[in-house]
Amino acid sequence: MIQFDSIGLGPQIMDAISKLGFVTPTPVQEKVIPFVLESSRDLIALAQTGTGKTAAFGLPILEKVDKAKNVQALILAPTRELCIQISKDMLSYAKYRPEINIVPVYGGAKIETQISELRRGAQIVVGTPGRLNDMLRRKYLDVSSIQWLVLDEADEMLTMGFREELESILRTTPENKQTLLFSATMPESLKDNFMKNPEEIVLGKRNAGNVNIEHQMYMVKAPDRYLALKRIVDSAPHIYGIVFCRTRNETKEIAEKLIKDGYSCDALHGELTQVQRDHVMKRFRDKHLKLLIATDVAARGLDVNDLTHVINYNLPDDVEVYTHRSGRTGRAGKAGIAVAIVNTREQRKIDMIERSMKISFKKSLVPGGREICQTRLFELIRKVEEVELKNDEIDSFIEPIIKQLSGIERDELIKRFVSVEFNQFLEYYRNAKDINATSRGADSGRGRDRGRDSGRGRDSGRGRDSSRGRDSGNRRDSGRGRDAGRAAGSGRDSSRSRSFEKTGPRDETRKRAPRSESAPNKRKPVASEEEYSRLYMNAGRKDGFGVVDLIGVVKEKTRTRNIEIGKVDVMDKLTFFEVRKSDEKLVLSSMKDVTVENREIRVEIAEEKGSAKAKPRSKKPTDARSSVKRSSSKGSEKGSYAAKKRSVKKGSDIV
């Protein structure tokens, strides 16, 4: 087996990584390091997260970079967390090369400090696309003579909508650079657009899952999703994992419920400040928290070791997203578990993931009360067996303790001892119902199931769950409201990734969307033009925004369920919808300064093209449909909508 001392690295780098405990390279390091040391050809390396990709490109670059104070290597990462992590790793590898200056450049931090660092001279710059573009525009950064360009998590950068930023950065780099592209999955378009005759190194099967991960599927009815989550967690005493939700609101809601029910967890989402985010992540990395409840956007770039579980509270719409989620466990040769909690209409999503990733889901049953109690009981006994005895400190208390307990028989004493910790589980899961759903037919198309799914709040779980009436009532598990569709503003470009939308799985959202998007709401007939106002919202189908998302956001922000929404037309980059004229002012005022997944959402009066009845509300362009259409071609451009401006700017927010 090859070792680092025979791979071609110099003594300074070897001394640094030896003190870090590096002895044997991982498969990706074994193939990439010699290639970069010996060749100037472009490279595509497909490998799962957690396989040592940073060292694979970082070590040979550090070996070859010289002392000149110009930027020789540019490393791009999709998120500031990954940017910071790469910089820290590179600094540790360069411990005995003090002349090498490595500067991280990312948003969310003072730009003045980063400018100052760049002015001092840096051989290696690690950055996020947005901040790097800013530095290039201001001419604080010169990459015209770089020798290496590294795109780490390249597919994630495209998924997040950074294509234009990447192209802008690439235009400022020299033709003769070596481009190194690393990713867990690879859209084929990247090779054509960013590479010149690249060498390909594929670890495992292309776009396949990590073989160290066991994929488990639990099928329940949508109102029982939260109960299933709690039972799965209770049945895994050593769990240390991430629970992925679709939206920020769902993330906050699930975290609040779990905390209320006594679980050690916290939420990670787009509303947190950087200080709050760092605090949550420190507690999670220090294992003061057992669970992190997060959205995909907020969790991108996180580097956390030893995760035992990744739980999909809702399945994502893209196979690549599931690949990245599950790849956060089972790292460095360790085993991991990826859990999917699905309802009875999501079997087709499971089938697509299995085909695409060449994996197989283990169909598991949500554990019942007796199973959970048994697991927790024997976990308690294991702790008793392994507890460290501090005899010097406890000996002085033993004699009075024995005297006080002397009247209790041995077997009775054991029962009492166990019951101190165990009674809470016995009480909580007493008479717990079976929440497993075994077939699609049990939940297919019947009105009462759909009604339950839409949040009437019937949750028949037993025990201490004080919020059981709200567990189904507040969640949008069945595809109702804001939590059903993909998070608005996620920046995902469905044309570049394999999406379930292409094959049309019949989950709740997709099943009802055609009816709602192309015809009036059948339960509430649309009134005449004199009774209804037509509005538009600057989010549409390509943003992952659908009818259910619209209804959820409007009803949440207006804080009333009495808002009647008439005909809804979901278009690529915007959505037209009707509300009663009596509700017009309430909706418009409530939707000011609204953000969804860090994207500013605007709602305005829509004026029909050529309509004599249309009454301009302002001096801004009266054809909302055409003005937004002009901007849709820039849908992947990073930027923001000004909350107080009434004109539609080009681009859409990318987190």
Tokens 């303790």 locate to 401
pLDDT score of 445 more than 60: no
pLDDT score of 422 more than 80: no
Q: Which two tokens stand for residue 200?
A: 């390909």
Q: Which two tokens stand for residue 339?
A: 């859990």
| Residue 460 falls inside a structural domain | no
Mean pLDDT, the chain, whole residue set = 76
Alpha carbon 408 to its chain's center:
53
129: amino acid identity, one letter:
P
Same domain, 154 and 37: yes
| CA atoms lying within 13 Å on the CB side of residue 98 | 0
> In sequence order, what DSSP letters do the residues of 108-138 get, joined into one string?
TS-HHHHHHHHHH--SEEEE-HHHHHHHHHT
Identify the pLDDT of residue 551: 78
509: confidence class by pLDDT, cuts 50, 70, 90: very low
Same domain, 517 and 624: yes
| Residue 434 falls inside a structural domain | no
Final residue in a domain of this structure, among 428, 444, 471: 428
Distance separating alpha carbons of residues 543 and 564, to the nearest angstrom: 24
List, in sequence order, every beta strand (DSSP E) within 540-654.
565-570, 575-580, 594-596, 599-601, 603-605
Q: Which two tokens stand for residue 30?
A: 């074994």
Domain that holds residue 376: 371-428
For residues 416-430, average pLDDT: 78
pLDDT score of 557 more than 50: yes
Identify the pLDDT of residue 209: 55
40: amino acid identity, one letter:
S
Same domain, 283 and 408: no
Sheet with strand 124-127: strands edge to edge? 102-105, 124-127, 73-76, 148-152, 178-183, 43-46, 199-202
Distance separating alpha carbons of residues 509 and 518, to the nearest angstrom: 14
Q: What is the CA radius of gyration of the chain?
A: 28
Range name among 2-6, 17-21, 226-230, 641-645 with the lowest pLDDT average? 641-645
Identify the pLDDT of residue 69: 85
More confident residue, 439 or 24: 24
pLDDT score of 244 more than 50: yes
Q: How many CB atoms lie within 10 A of CB 352?
A: 19
More confident residue, 601 or 461: 601
Query: Are 516 and 547 within 8 A, CB to CB?
Result: yes
Q: Tell me the CATH number at 510.
A: 3.30.70.330
313: confidence class by pLDDT, cuts 50, 70, 90: very high
More confident residue, 217 or 622: 217
Final residue in a domain of this structure, among 428, 446, 477: 428
pTM above 0.85, yes or no: no
Same domain, 241 and 173: no
For residues 583-598, average pLDDT: 79
For residues 345-357, average pLDDT: 88
Identify the pLDDT of residue 467: 38
What 3-state DSSP class applies to 341? Answer: strand
Range name among 16-30, 398-412, 585-599 with the lowest pLDDT average? 585-599
Name the nearest CA neighbour of 304 among 330, 279, 322, 276: 330
Q: Tell me the CATH number at 337.
A: 3.40.50.300
More confident residue, 102 or 567: 102
| Residue 423 falls inside a structural domain | yes
For residues 94-106, average pLDDT: 94
pLDDT score of 542 more than 80: no
Q: pLDDT by residue (tens digit) across 205-214?
A: 554 556 788 9
Q: pLDDT by residue (tens digit) across 352-369?
A: 899 888 889 999 999 988
Number of domains, the chain: 4
Same domain, 357 and 228: yes
For residues 25-32, average pLDDT: 90
Final residue in a domain of this structure, among 428, 449, 464: 428
Same domain, 174 and 221: no
Identify the pLDDT of residue 164: 84
pLDDT score of 161 more than 80: no
2: confidence class by pLDDT, cuts 50, 70, 90: confident
| Residue 483 falls inside a structural domain | no
Same domain, 329 and 306: yes
In DSSP terms, which residues pair with 43 in a beta bridge?
180, 199
For CA atoms 614, 617, 622, 627, give the dihedral sign: negative
Same domain, 150 and 217: no
Instruction: Identify the top-confidence range among 66-75, 508-517, 575-584.
Output: 66-75
For residues 574-591, average pLDDT: 87
Same domain, 14 and 158: yes
For residues 282-302, average pLDDT: 86
Q: Residues 644, 645, 650, CA angle at the centre, nearest 5°?
A: 130
Range name among 132-141, 440-449, 623-632 with the lowest pLDDT average? 623-632
| Residue 61 falls inside a structural domain | yes
Helices 80-93/53-64 angle, 10° precision: 50
Same domain, 70 and 190: yes
pLDDT score of 62 more than 90: yes
Query: Are 616 and 607 within 8 A, CB to CB?
Result: yes
pLDDT score of 146 more than 70: yes
Identify the pLDDT of residue 71: 95
Q: How many CB atoms lie within 10 A of CB 626?
A: 11
Tokens 């009802």 locate to 512
Distance separating alpha carbons of residues 359 and 351, to the nearest angstrom: 10
Same domain, 282 and 403: no
Same domain, 217 and 174: no
Burial of 171 (0-12, 13-18, 19+ CB in 10 A): exposed
589: confidence class by pLDDT, cuts 50, 70, 90: confident
Alpha carbon 203 to its chain's center:
24
| Residue 242 falls inside a structural domain | yes
Distances (CA, A) of 87 to 83, 154, 325, 353: 6, 17, 23, 33
Q: What contacts 24+ positions apart, CB below 8 Å, involve 18-26?
A: 19/95, 20/92, 20/93, 22/55, 25/52, 25/55, 26/51, 26/52, 26/55, 26/56, 26/332
Distance separating alpha carbons of residues 51 and 637, to the nearest angstrom: 31
Identify the pLDDT of residue 186: 65
475-490 burial, b for 16+ CB within 10 Å, e for fewer? bbbbbbbbbbbbbbbb
Of the chain, the percentage scoring pLDDT greater than 70 comes to: 74
| Residue 471 falls inside a structural domain | no
Name the nearest CA neighbour of 636 among 652, 620, 625: 652
Q: pLDDT by residue (tens digit) across 395-419?
A: 888 888 888 888 888 888 888 888 8
